[in-house]
Amino acid sequence: DKKAGIFILVSLIIISVAEVIYRAVVANEIRNLAERSKNSANNIQGISKLVTQAVESLADNANGMLAAEAAST
């Protein structure tokens, strides 16, 4: 009957709208995750650079101390 057809049509429209909303939410979450991943990668890169600089500084200081010790003997 006509009411059943309208009910089915409205149900299909609601399902379609829900699917569009779901996909938009998922896409937004993926964008947020990508942004957080990018920020984490940048933080890791910055920390790695600091560690490298600290190790280079320690090596320079150790070499300086060895050179000073060798010069004094």
Does 15 have pLDDT greater than 90? yes
Token pair 């938009």 is at which residue? 24
DSSP string, 1-64: -HHHHHHHHHHHHHHHHHHHHHHHHHHHHHHHHHHHHHHHHHHHHHHHHHHHHHHHHHHHHHHH
Tell me what the mean pLDDT of segment 50-63 comes to.
Answer: 98
Say what the pTM is.
0.64
What pLDDT, on the 0 to 100 scale, is given for residue 73? 78
Does 22 have pLDDT greater than 90? yes
25/32 Cα distance (integer angstroms): 11
60/57 Cα distance (integer angstroms): 5
What pLDDT, on the 0 to 100 scale, is given for residue 14? 98
